[in-house]
Amino acid sequence: MTVVVDHDSDTAQTLANAIGGDCSLLSGLDQVRRHLEDHPRENVVVLGVTVDTQAAFHFAGAIRGQNPALGVILVRRRLDTSVLAEALRSGVREVVTDRELSALADAVRRANEVGRQIRQQLEGKESAEDDAPRGRVVTIFSAKGGCGKTTVATNLAVALAERGRREVCLVDLDLAFGDVAIALQLFPAHTIADAVPLAGSLDEAGLAGLLTPHSPGLTTLVAPLEPGAAEGIPASLVADVLRILKGMFDYVVVDTPPAFTDHVLAAFDVSEVLGLLATLDVPALKNLKLTLETLDLLNYSRDTWRVILNRADAKVGLALHDVEATLDSRIAAQIPSSRAVPASINRGVPIMLDEPTHAVSQAIKALADQHVATGPSGGVPESLRRDRRGKFLRRKATTP
> Looking at the structure, do residues 59 and 158 belong to the same domain, yes or no?
no
The Cα–Cα gap between 194 and 88 comes to: 8
Are the beta carbons of 287 and 278 closer than 8 angstroms? yes
Q: What is the CATH number for 100?
A: 3.40.50.2300
Residue 78 lies in a domain: yes
Q: Which residues contact 60 (CB under 8 A, 6 or more apart)?
A: 72, 74, 87, 90, 91, 92
Q: Look at residues 70, 100, 124 and tell me which one is the last residue of a structural domain.
A: 124
> What is the C-alpha separation between 310 and 91, in angstroms, rounded?
41
Taking CA atoms, 399 is separated from 6, 171, 239, 278, in Å, by 44, 18, 6, 28
Residues 146 and 74 in one domain: no
Residue 79 sits in the same domain as residue 144: no
Q: Could you list the pLDDT tens digit for every one of the 400 residues in the chain?
A: 799 999 999 999 999 999 987 889 999 999 999 999 888 888 899 999 999 999 999 998 888 777 888 999 999 998 888 888 888 888 888 999 988 888 898 889 888 888 887 777 766 644 444 444 468 999 999 999 999 999 999 999 999 999 888 999 999 999 999 999 999 999 998 999 999 988 878 888 889 989 999 999 999 999 998 888 888 999 999 999 999 999 999 999 999 999 999 999 999 999 999 999 998 888 999 999 999 999 988 888 889 999 999 988 877 667 788 888 888 889 999 999 999 999 999 999 999 999 999 999 999 999 999 999 864 433 333 333 333 333 333 333 333 3
Considering the domain architecture, whether residues 194 and 230 belong to the same structural domain is answered as: yes
| Shared-domain flag, residues 39 and 152 | no
Residue 108: domain span? 2-124
pTM of the shown model = 0.67
> 140 and 102, same structural domain?
no
Q: Minimal CA–CA distance to 42: which of 28, 32, 29?
A: 32
Q: How many domains does the chain have?
A: 2
Q: Is residue 399 part of a domain?
A: no
Residues 57, 179 within the same domain: no
Dump strand ranges (E) for the chain: 2-5, 23-26, 44-47, 71-76, 94-97, 136-141, 168-172, 212-215, 218-221, 251-255, 273-279, 305-310, 331-335
Q: Which of 92, 124, 156 is the last residue of a domain?
A: 124
Question: For residue 397, is it within any domain?
Answer: no
Q: Are 107 and 161 contained in the same domain?
A: no
51 and 21 fall within a common domain: yes
Indicate if 295 and 165 belong to the same structural domain: yes
The verdict on residue 400 lying in a domain is: no
Asked if residue 108 and residue 16 are part of one domain, the reply reads: yes
The type of residue at 362 is: Q
Question: Looking at residue 366, which CATH number applies to its domain?
Answer: 3.40.50.300
